[in-house]
Amino acid sequence: MDRNGVGASGAAAAEGRFLEVACDESGSDGENLTGGNTDVFAHASAAVPVERAEECLREIRRRIRSPALEYKANHLLREKHRAVLEWLLDADGPVHRRAHVHLTEKAYVVVEQAVDLLIGDSGSGDSDDDCRAGARALFREGPEVFGERGWREFLAAANRLLRVRSDGEPPADSFVRTAEALGRAHAGTRPGRALLRLAEARSRADAYRAGLAEAPPLIPVLNPLLPAIVRTAAHWSHGGRAVFLVHDRQNMLTDERIAWIEERARREGTALRGLRLVHSRLDARVQIADFLAGIARKIASDELAGRGDPELTARLRPFVGPRSVWGDAASWSRLGPAPGTGLREAEHDGSAMERPGPAAEVNSGV
């Protein structure tokens, strides 16, 4: 498979053997999900012919008239270009029903993964659904109970525990100390009791950190890009259609991780035929995906902060995937793809992200 050049995928797509879909992301801070530049990660994809994408770019250039060599989402997000942004997202626009966005609320991923690591499969009788329900309750009630400062301290400690790189105080030490202090101070509340339970799982935290030190994992649990690509492939392959992804170059997308994505997708029943990396400047379809990812990240982040623009959110909503990873109920009620779509369907179900052990263990299924 040619992952760096055009290869034969374009010809095969033209012959109708599979659907070729272009992808890009916005909001990547690696594993730093609680202290980075953004609180939302967006992965966008567009299933449009090259000619249509090029025509769309020409029209955007004609309407915006910026001398920039390469346009980005921030060009369309400027207030003076509001009409262009609305045109792109409109129901009669160039990508309606031909594009998809997978959203990830970063802080929720940290809470869910911490709960899964320390309580999931613990032999205590907790099912996967119980763990997810516990993560949701902690995520939604924690900020009010612990206060903004206490909540941010917990999130930062949990992020340090889960990320691969370690600096300063041993991550398990700082996590247990933070969880115990907050839990004891609020022991009469459900979030307080949850943190005390997490702190009691010190042995699991130590084992996790020891595994990271022994062999850094192929698939970090806190990087949202890889599971987002798997979800994107599943969306376009719905009904059994074969799909080939064309993705903007990303350092995270090594040959080994691409192989993991392909194998994971196949194990989940997705007809993913492959993934090829290109430079966004060389593929108009990827540039369209880049626009959508940046636009979606900004709109979703504004909704999360309670300063959303109802008109833009309504235009984005048809593009948002129901399996987005989202914990905040209020913003999801506005961003979710359809009335009545519950968070249970929208939440990350663990099938595309794995807790890493030694590299050989992670690679065993590839």
What average pLDDT is seen over the chain? 88
Buried b (16+ CB within 10 A) or exposed e, 284-321: bbbbbbbbbbbbbbbbbbbbbeeebeeebbebbbebbb
Region of 113 (left: φ > 0; alpha: ψ -120 to 50; beta: rest) is: alpha
Looking up tokens 């030190």 gives: 213
SS3 106: helix
Average pLDDT over residues 268-292: 95
CA atoms within 13 A on the CB side of 346: 28
| Spatial separation of the C-alpha atoms in residues 38 and 301, rounded to whole Å | 8
Q: Interior CA angle at 304 toward 302 and 306, to 5°? A: 70
User: Does 354 score more than 80 pLDDT?
Assistant: no
Segment 156-180 shows an average pLDDT of 95
Please say if the pLDDT value at position 56 is more than 50: yes
Place of tokens 């010809």: 11
DSSP 8-state assignment for residue 268: T
**How far apart, in whole angstroms, are the C-alpha atoms of residue 179 and residue 112?**
15
HSE at residue 163, side-chain half, CA atoms within 13 A, is 19
Mean pLDDT within 56-62: 94
What residues pair up with 30 in beta bridges, in sequence order?
Answer: none
pLDDT digits (tens, 9 = 90+) for 93-137: 999 999 999 999 999 999 999 999 999 875 555 666 777 788 999
pLDDT of residue 166: 87
pLDDT at residue number 144: 97
- Nearest to residue 309, comparing CAs of 82, 73, 102, 88? 82
| Percent of residues, the chain, with pLDDT higher than 90 | 78
Phi, psi of 53 (to 5 degrees): -65, -40
Asked whether residue 248 carries a pLDDT value surpassing 50, the answer given is yes
- Residue 215 contacts by C-beta under 8 Å, 6 or more apart in sequence? 357, 358, 359, 360
- For every residue of 159-171, DSSP letters joined together read HHHHSS---SS-H
Question: Helices (DSSP H) in 163-273: which residue ranges?
Answer: 171-185, 190-199, 202-214, 225-236, 255-267
363 pLDDT tier (thresholds 50, 70, 90)? very low
Write down the pLDDT at residue 65. 87
User: What's residue 142's pLDDT?
Assistant: 97
pLDDT tens-digit map of 192-213: 999 999 999 999 999 999 999 9
Q: What is the mean pLDDT of residues 127-149?
A: 89
pLDDT band with cut points at 50, 70 and 90 for residue 67? confident
| Mean pLDDT across 228-239 | 96
**Nearest 5°: phi and psi at 23?**
-135, 150
pLDDT at 355 over 50: no
Q: Which of 148-152, 283-287, 351-355 has the lowest mean pLDDT?
A: 351-355
Q: How far is CA 364 from each of CA 218, 237, 256, 264, 358, rounded to the nearest angstrom?
A: 11, 25, 12, 12, 10
Flag whether pLDDT at 2 surpasses 90: no
Report strand pairing: 19-26 vs 40-46: antiparallel
The pLDDT of residue 23 is 98
- Could you identify the residue written with the tokens 């392959």? 237
* Whole-number pLDDT of residue 258: 98
**Per-residue tokens: 24:** 């890009």
pLDDT digits (tens, 9 = 90+) for 303-314: 999 999 999 999
And the tokens for 248?
A: 């903007």
